[in-house]
Amino acid sequence: MEKVMVIIGPTAVGKTALSFALAEHYGTDLISGDAYQIYRHMDIGTAKPTADELARYHHYLIDIAEPDEPYSAARFCNMAGKAIAEVDGKGKVPIVVGGTGLYVQSLLEGYDFGTARMTEAAKDAAQARIASLDEGGLKEYIRRNTDWEPPDWHELLANTHRLTRLVSAIENGEGKAFVRSGKAESLVYDAYVIGLRLPREILYARIEERVDAMLKDGWVEEVRRLLAMGVPEGAQAMKAIGYQELAQYLKGQLSLEEAAVRIKTRTRRFAKRQLTWFKRMPYIHWYEKDQYEDEAALARAVIRDIDAHWRA
């Protein structure tokens, strides 16, 4: 069984800093588990590592797609699995870093995305059903036909590919089986999963500071360039928090101050949803960051625990 280290936690908690410390210590490579860092030209708003950091630490699944390309948990698992095998072949243990709970959980638990493949006719029927329902009606339709409550409705409804596959399964009378199938009974990797947390007030203050820093660093110009390139506002990449708000600012529909407030509010809500999702993953080893003197002390504690895990 291949070994892998994983760092997860809510946005702005400090996953990147720890990932660099572990990569330095173990001399290994990093795999992004973020749903938006794959996109080129989207550097500031996705909190992508800097060019210098990308040059210093080898990363997989960053800057590999254009902003108008679709991305999904299935595609992530396929590419991340290949990256893990490649790093394992070098005799190293890779580090997966990200806050997209669905993606990381799917990778570690071996979700089978090959089930319930759609024909074009089935896809068209599912999309027609989705279009016929408002958000409330769609939620009720899914609940009624699956006996299932997604931990994050926003993430499900925003992931058009996953939503279409789910509705297609429901239309074929396989909704209940679909939401319960495709999952391994145990982890498919020998994984040490690190979860980072901070008290809510500290995390929210970090979110506020990071949004302000992104705006100062040229986030508005980044969005302006994307729109000038012809990237549609409805593209999956543009669903990343902040891009639609800044597009509205550039069209004169919001003031920059209003856009910033909305971005901060969405980011705080996203962080809360992330923590809710992670409760589904009981194998996470949680580290309360405020209990450590600094980043170096946290890294030392994590390295000690990782080494003990694989010595056991």
Beta bridge partners of 3: 190
pTM here is 0.81
Residue 177's pLDDT is 67
CATH architecture for residues 3-112+184-311: 3-Layer(aba) Sandwich (3.40)
How many CB atoms lie under 10 A from the CB of residue 200?
13
With H, G, I as helix, E, B as strand and everything else as coil, classify residue 169: helix
Question: Furthest-apart CA pair in the chain: how many Å?
Answer: 60
Q: Count H helices, E strands: the chain?
A: 14, 6
How many CB atoms lie under 10 A from the CB of residue 41?
13
Residue 33's pLDDT is 96
Residue 303's pLDDT is 98
- Tens-digit pLDDT string for the chain (312 aa): 899 999 999 999 999 999 999 999 999 999 999 999 999 999 999 999 999 999 999 999 999 999 999 888 889 999 999 999 999 999 999 999 987 888 999 999 988 665 556 788 888 889 999 999 999 999 999 999 988 777 678 778 887 877 888 898 898 887 876 766 555 557 999 999 999 999 999 999 999 999 999 999 999 999 999 999 999 988 989 999 999 999 999 999 999 999 999 999 999 999 999 999 998 899 999 999 999 999 999 999 999 999 999 987
How many CB atoms lie under 10 A from the CB of residue 202?
14
Q: Where are the beta strands (DSSP E) in 79-203?
A: 95-97, 190-197
Q: β-strands 284-288, 95-97: how paired?
A: unpaired
Residue 185's pLDDT is 56
Domain layout of the chain by residue ranges: 3-112+184-311, 120-180
